[in-house]
């Protein structure tokens, strides 16, 4: 049996207020190491909320998220921040790169925050990641000088910089054109193939079809789980993304 990288145990997330909204309503989920899981569902179904809970960006009202065997429900915010820094990599629909920093500086940011590598090591790793994602000529450019797809690839490089076991991506192709979408698809698939766990929220059936498992969420609950890759849709443009190192 494959090793579990990520586990959700009875996850519930409610927003308390005049009217209580239940965003996630009792989800149990287990994701193996190296598995590529796509979470799909209609708008407002709770898929992004589930992803934020799985990435420890948000805390559940009830339940627990177990990351690489470590329960997180009773951890302090500082301890959760430490796990986010070292074990999780985030990619969002919007790139969220620091606009005043270059691509390389943005990529090395999590490594510098972790403070476990020398300046030289961080520089070399940053260059290596950007090169592997086809951004060798853009290392000293700022986000404003890059295209949407290039920015998203820099964001992926940043997510990978601390060698996290888990990558969580919230609609990473939502704001990209077809070409860039294909590139990002390929990269995320390569990341999973290299042994990392990838959990992606997407509206895009093409990306979902490339996942090892598709989980369909409706009203905060798992409505359907489809094992195995779906029929591969014809890509608009063939892209060969360089394999990401493990």
Partner 1 sequence: MATKLIFDIAWTHVTARVRQTLVGMAGVSMGVGFTIMMAGLMEGSQIDFLRQLVDTMPHITIQDERRSIPIQPADQEYGAVQMSNVANLNNRPGIKYPESVMASLRSWLPGEVTPSVRTTAIIDHGGGRIGVTLMGIDPRQEVRVSKLGSQMREGQVTDLSRAPNAIIIGEALAQKLAVKTGNTITLIGGQGTEVNSTVVGTFRSGMKRVDEGQIYGLTGFAQIMMGQSGVINELRLRLNNPLVAQQVAIQVEAQTGYKSVSWQEANADLLSTFAVRDFIVLTVMGAMLLTSSFATYNIISTITHEKRQDIAIMKSLGMREYQVRRIFIIESAIIGTVGILFGWILGYLLCYGWSHITIYNVLTGANVPLQIYYSPMHYIIAGGISLICCTGAAFFPARKATRVHPVEIIRGAS
Residues that bind partner 1 (CB under 8 A): 48, 52, 55, 57-58, 77-78, 81-86, 88, 90, 92-94, 96, 98-101, 105, 109-110, 112-115, 158, 170-171, 174
CB of 104 to partner 1, least distance (A): 13
Pick between residue 220 and residue 241 the one whose CB is nearest to partner 1: 220
Cβ-count burial of 65 within 10 angstroms (0-12 exposed, 13-18 middle, 19+ buried)? buried
Assess contact for 9 and 178: CB atoms under 8 A.
Answer: no
CB of 189 to partner 1, least distance (A): 23
Sheet order of strands, 36-40 included: 88-91, 166-170, 197-201, 36-40, 213-218, 221-227
CB of 18 to partner 1, least distance (A): 18
Pick between residue 117 and residue 239 the one whose CB is nearest to partner 1: 117
Q: What is the largest CA-CA distance in the chain?
A: 53
Pick between residue 76 and residue 227 the one whose CB is nearest to partner 1: 76
Tokens 């990619």, residue? 91
Assess contact for 90 and 159: CB atoms under 8 A.
Answer: yes
CB of 179 to partner 1, least distance (A): 21
Pick between residue 191 and residue 241 the one whose CB is nearest to partner 1: 191
Rounded Cα distance between 73 and 140, Å, is 40
CB of 122 to partner 1, least distance (A): 9
Pick between residue 58 and residue 182 the one whose CB is nearest to partner 1: 58
Q: Which of 195, 104, 206 is nearest to 158 (CA)?
A: 104
CB of 226 to partner 1, least distance (A): 25
Each residue of 106-130: b (16+ CB within 10 Å) or e? bbbbbbeeeeebeeeebbebbbbbb
Pick between residue 3 and residue 119 the one whose CB is nearest to partner 1: 119
Structure tokens at 116: 């476990």
């Amino acid at each position: 049996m494959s090793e579990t990288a990520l586990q959700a145990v009875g996850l519930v997330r409610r927003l308390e207020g005049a009217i209580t909204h239940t965003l996630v309503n009792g989800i149990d989920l287990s994701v193996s190491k190296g598995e590529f899981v796509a979470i799909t569902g209609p708008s407002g179904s709770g898929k992004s909320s589930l992803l934020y809970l799985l990435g420890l960006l948000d805390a559940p009202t009830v339940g627990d998220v177990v990351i690489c065997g470590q329960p997180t429900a009773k951890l302090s915010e500082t301890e959760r921040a430490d796990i986010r820094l070292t074990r999780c990599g985030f990619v969002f629909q919007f790139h969220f790169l620091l606009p005043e920093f270059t691509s390389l500086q943005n990529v090395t940011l999590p490594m510098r925050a972790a403070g476990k590598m020398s300046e030289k090591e961080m520089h070399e790793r940053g260059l290596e990641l950007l090169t592997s994602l086809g951004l060798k000529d853009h290392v000293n450019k700022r986000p404003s000088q890059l295209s949407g797809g290039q920015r998203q690839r820099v964001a992926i490089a940043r997510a990978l910089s601390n060698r996290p076991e888990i990558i969580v991506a919230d609609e990473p192709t939502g704001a990209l054109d077809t070409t860039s979408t294909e590139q990002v698809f390929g990269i995320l698939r390569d990341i999973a193939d290299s042994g990392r766990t990838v959990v992606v929220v997407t509206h895009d059936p093409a990306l979902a079809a490339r996942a090892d498992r598709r989980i369909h969420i409706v009203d905060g609950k798992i409505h359907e789980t489809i094992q195995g890759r779906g029929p591969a849709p014809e890509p608009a443009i063939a892209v060969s993304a360089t394999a990401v190192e493990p």
